[in-house]
């Protein structure tokens, strides 16, 4: 029986040893002096020492000085009867860094005395380091999300927040940790929640929502944002949605990808309006967003794996020349590693048209789906803008005027940043001369017009008013040209002033205008001579009467020689009638004078009337018309006296002709000031003009006079003259008498 019990005891001991050796821990028993009494098999792999070699050795030697000092406080507590445990990272010489849970348990003898201690160390490294890595990755993802300049959040299907990044505090003034677990309505407020709720409903139905909204930030600023609600679909069920809110006042795009949340960030990238593709070292596309797919007009299968150097793109440059594959922006970055910026390239589109892209490339070396990336290509569809720019360029190049940009720097240095090709024709100079040697352009200006040009430029720059100048230049081939420049200025931050405008060669227009003025002057002179012819009988009568009296007095003078007083009286009478004839003749000479030049001066209406008063009186007297002048104006107008005089004569002629055959015949000329205008009215007792012809009376060649009595040019020319003087000639309606009215600006 004793042997049986002994064998049973040995078997139980062996069984315990087997159990201890199979535990995922190192187990040891030490006496109070730290000498090993027992160790399990795991000690061999951890300390690279056989178990039998450890028995009797001191644990301080095995642990080393640093290790022994670290565990001594725990051993001391254990030897005082306290069970002690701790968890920490420990670096073992042979197995490296471990995360362990170590327990020190007192060993009591049969009397209850502490004779040693057990050491049980569990290896928790796999779980610990996995959780630690996951936590670090989570923190890294959280930091990345916080670094993105957009609000990014995750909401479940009950609209409760799961995650919110730091950007939320910038807009709503709430710490992200305080947002988690709260309903979205609490964060947005009632008004914004109600506005956005329809989008949330659609997102929870699996539909991606993109919309713009103006929101009030915590700082009281109204900011426009682009909001995207992206459904969170797990196992074909919508569990909530992701929210991406981008401040589109400043930010164009958010383009970051996190490998641990690929689907989430893939959805974010697909909401960005900027198109992009990622290429490998062979220029093959390995990733792209939906915008790129839409712009390029290709399916997913067609786009993935397609190379930048593929001849199917049929790439061309903006000048429509071939864009060689090895010079494509992506290929240049692959070869040189240098970024390519704002490269314009046209490609063949699936709809048969050329699509124009603005392309940027940058070196982008990372890994994606076990493939090495090389280049990130971003691009924008600029087809519409490109075609408009081409059209604008065509308009500029074919414009009959020169398009230019003129700059006056703060230090008064002048330059022409841009001139169209028309400059070659107008100035007989290449565009490069304008840009690099602007002073040569000003050397061509006629010396008499140069001071006025400089004054106009400086005045426009100082007051930022429209620059409008006409003057002459002498070209390198010695041609005299008239030019008209008109442009609109704006001031730059550096104090310089820039004008954008047009310059037109008006040499031919000036010549035509001079010819027109001459023809107009001849027409006016002819009209005057015709008027003199019509009133020749009246003139003869006005001169013959005084001549008859002069003749009679002259005949009787010899009978008055003896009476000096009577003789002097007759002489004075002779002088009076001679002066009357002289006045009539001088008035007719002034009236009939001929001048081809348009000469504008300041004068009053009275001075103009004085020059033609004789004509008015003779004309009215010949037709027995009562003629009156009522002038209540002393203001001056800036005008060509002869032209204004002719207009008034024409109106009075028409009025006298209209009433001369009536029983009651009168004509009145009235002049008065009305605010900033001089008003001249010619009224007569004739019949009113019929409504059906009112819209024709100012048309050339229209006349109501009998054949041979009028040319029809009177009112047409008169209206043109008044318009050239900045005024207007009208027929006054709603009057009891016929009345024409002239309004001219009073000179300030």
Stretch among 164-173, 183-192, 264-273, 706-715 having the lowest mean pLDDT = 706-715
Q: Where are the beta strands (DSSP E) in 68-175?
A: 84-92, 96-108, 114-123, 150-156, 161-164
Name which residue leads in pLDDT, 146 or 357. Answer: 357
At residue 598 the predicted structure's pLDDT band, cuts being 50, 70 and 90, is low
pLDDT, one tens digit per residue, over 635-657 is: 999 998 888 888 898 899 889 98
CA torsion sign, 701 to 702 to 705 to 707? positive
Mean pLDDT of 146-173: 82
User: Average per-residue pLDDT in the chain?
Assistant: 80
Instruction: Confirm whether pTM is higher than 0.75.
Output: no
pLDDT, one tens digit per residue, over 403-442 is: 888 899 988 888 888 888 887 888 888 877 777 787 788 8
The pLDDT assigned to 707 comes to: 44
Which residues contact residue 247 at a Cβ distance below 8 angstroms, ignoring those fewer than 6 apart? 149, 150, 223, 224, 225
Name which residue leads in pLDDT, 371 or 491. Answer: 491
The pLDDT assigned to 561 comes to: 65
pLDDT, one tens digit per residue, over 292-348 is: 888 888 888 887 888 877 787 888 888 889 988 888 888 888 888 898 899 898 888
Which residues contact residue 601 at a Cβ distance below 8 angstroms, ignoring those fewer than 6 apart? 638, 639, 640, 641
CB 517 within 8 A of CB 510: no
Write out the two tokens for 279.
């290429």
At residue 230 the predicted structure's pLDDT band, cuts being 50, 70 and 90, is very high
The pLDDT assigned to 255 comes to: 35
CB 176 within 8 A of CB 191: no
At residue 699 the predicted structure's pLDDT band, cuts being 50, 70 and 90, is confident
At residue 710 the predicted structure's pLDDT band, cuts being 50, 70 and 90, is very low
pLDDT, one tens digit per residue, over 495-530 is: 999 999 988 988 888 888 778 777 666 665 565 555
Write out the two tokens for 236.
């074909």
Stretch among 247-261, 277-291, 385-399 having the lowest mean pLDDT = 247-261
Name which residue leads in pLDDT, 714 or 737. Answer: 737
Mean pLDDT of 63-86: 89
At residue 105 the predicted structure's pLDDT band, cuts being 50, 70 and 90, is very high
pLDDT, one tens digit per residue, over 235-247 is: 889 999 998 888 8
At residue 262 the predicted structure's pLDDT band, cuts being 50, 70 and 90, is low
CA dihedral 420, 426, 427, 433 (to 10 degrees): 10
Q: What percent of the chain has pLDDT over 70?
A: 80
Is 50 exceeded by the pLDDT of residue 274? yes
- DSSP character for 320? S
At residue 592 the predicted structure's pLDDT band, cuts being 50, 70 and 90, is low
Name the most confidently modeled range: 263-267, 531-535, 553-557, 716-720: 716-720
CA torsion sign, 292 to 297 to 301 to 307? negative
Is 90 exceeded by the pLDDT of residue 711? no
Name which residue leads in pLDDT, 509 or 263. Answer: 509
Considering only CA atoms, which of 593, 674, 682 is closest in space to residue 640?
593
DSSP string covering 597-626: S--EEEEEHHHHHHHHHHHHHHHHHHTT-E
Determine the 3-state secondary structure of 319 from DSSP: coil
The pLDDT assigned to 254 comes to: 37
Other CB atoms within 10 Å distance of the CB of residue 409: 14
Q: Which domains does the chain have, with CATH numbers?
A: 2-123 (3.30.450.20), 130-269 (3.30.450.20), 274-388 (3.30.450.20), 399-504 (3.30.450.20), 516-745 (3.30.565.10)
| CA dist., res. 679 & res. 580, Å (int) | 32
Angle at CA of residue 665, ends 663 and 667, nearest 5°: 175
Give Cα 454 to chain centroid, integer Å: 31
pLDDT, one tens digit per residue, over 466-478 is: 999 999 988 888 8
Residue 290 burial class via C-beta count within 10 angstroms: exposed 0-12, middle 13-18, buried 19 and up? middle
The pLDDT assigned to 581 comes to: 64
CB 590 within 8 A of CB 626: no
């Amino acid at each position: 029986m004793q042997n049986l019990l002994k064998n049973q005891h040995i078997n139980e001991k062996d069984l315990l040893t087997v159990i201890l050796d199979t535990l995922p821990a190192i187990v040891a028993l030490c006496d109070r002096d730290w000498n090993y009494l027992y160790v399990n098999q795991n000690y061999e792999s951890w300390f690279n020492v056989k178990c039998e070699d450890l028995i009797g050795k001191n644990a301080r030697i095995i642990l080393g000085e640093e290790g022994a000092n670290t565990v001594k406080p725990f051993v001391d507590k254990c030897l005082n009867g306290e069970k002690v445990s701790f968890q920490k990272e420990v670096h073992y010489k042979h197995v490296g860094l471990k995360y362990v849970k170590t327990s020190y348990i007192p060993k009591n003898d049969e009397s209850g005395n502490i004779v040693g201690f057990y050491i049980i160390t569990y290896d928790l490294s796999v779980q610990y380091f996995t959780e630690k890595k996951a936590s670090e990755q989570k923190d890294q993802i959280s930091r990345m999300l916080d670094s993105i300049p957009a609000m990014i959040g995750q909401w479940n299907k009950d609209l409760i927040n799961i995650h919110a990044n730091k950007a939320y505090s910038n807009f709503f003034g709430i710490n992200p940790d305080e947002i988690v677990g709260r309903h979205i309505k609490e964060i947005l407020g009632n008004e914004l929640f109600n506005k956005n709720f329809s989008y949330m409903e659609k997102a929870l139905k699996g539909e991606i929502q993109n919309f713009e909204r103006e929101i009030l930030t915590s700082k009281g600023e109204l900011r426009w944002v682009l909001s995207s609600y992206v459904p969170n679909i797990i196992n074909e069920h919508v569990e909530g949605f992701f929210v991406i809110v981008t401040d589109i006042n400043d930010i164009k795009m958010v383009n970051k990808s996190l490998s641990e949340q690929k689907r989430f960030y893939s959805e974010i990238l697909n909401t960005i309006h900027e198109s992009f593709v990622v290429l490998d070292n062979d220029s093959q596309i390995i990733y792209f967003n939906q915008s790129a797919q839409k712009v390029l007009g290709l399916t997913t299968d067609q786009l993935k794996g397609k190379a930048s150097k593929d001849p199917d793109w049929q790439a061309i440059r903006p000048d429509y020349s071939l864009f060689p594959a090895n010079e494509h922006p992506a290929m240049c970055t692959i070869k040189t590693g240098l970024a390519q910026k704002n490269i314009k390239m046209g490609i063949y589109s699936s709809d048969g048209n050329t699509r124009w892209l603005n392309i940027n490339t940058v070196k982008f070396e990372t890994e994606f789906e076990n493939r090495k990336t090389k280049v990130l290509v971003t691009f924008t569809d600029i087809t519409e803008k490109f075609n408009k720019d081409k059209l604008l360029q065509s308009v500029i190049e074919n414009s009959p005027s020169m398009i230019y940009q003129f700059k006056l720097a703060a230090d008064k240095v002048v330059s022409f940043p841009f001139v169209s090709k028309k400059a070659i024709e107008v100035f007989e100079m290449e565009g490069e001369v304008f840009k690099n040697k602007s002073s040569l352009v000003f050397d061509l200006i006629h010396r008499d017009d140069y001071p006025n040009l400089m004054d106009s430029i400086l005045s426009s720059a100082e007051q930022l008013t429209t620059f409008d100048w006409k003057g002459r230049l002498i070209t390198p081939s010695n041609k005299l040209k008239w030019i008209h420049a008109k442009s609109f200025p704006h001031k730059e931050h550096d104090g310089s002033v820039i004008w954008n405008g047009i310059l037109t060669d008006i040499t031919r227009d000036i010549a035509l205008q001079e010819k027109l003025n001459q023809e107009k002057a001849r027409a006016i002179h002819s009209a005057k001579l015709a008027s003199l012819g019509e009133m020749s009988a009246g003139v003869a009568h006005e001169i013959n009467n005084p001549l008859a009296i002069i003749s009679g007095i002259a005949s009787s003078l010899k009978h008055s020689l003896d009476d000096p007083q009577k003789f002097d009286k007759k002489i004075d009478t002779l002088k009076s009638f001679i002066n009357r004839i002289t006045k009539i003749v001088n008035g007719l000479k002034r009236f009939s004078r001929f001048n081809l030049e348009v000469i504008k001066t300041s004068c009053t209406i009275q001075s103009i009337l004085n020059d033609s008063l004789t004509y008015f009186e003779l004309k009215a007297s010949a037709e027995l018309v009562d003629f009156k002048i009522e002038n209540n104006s002393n203001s001056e107008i800036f005008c060509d006296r002869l032209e204004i005089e002719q207009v008034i004569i024409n109106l009075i002629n028409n009025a006298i002709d209209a009433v001369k055959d009536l029983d009651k015949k009168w004509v009145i000329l009235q002049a008065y000031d009305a605010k900033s205008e001089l008003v001249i009215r010619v009224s007569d007792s004739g019949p009113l003009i019929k409504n059906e012809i009112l819209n024709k009376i100012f048309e050339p060649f229209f006349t109501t006079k009998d054949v041979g009595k009028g040319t029809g040019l009177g009112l047409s020319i008169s209206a043109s003259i008044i318009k050239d003087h900045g005024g207007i000639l009208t027929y006054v309606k709603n009057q009891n008498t016929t009345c024409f009215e002239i309004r001219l600006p009073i000179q300030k």
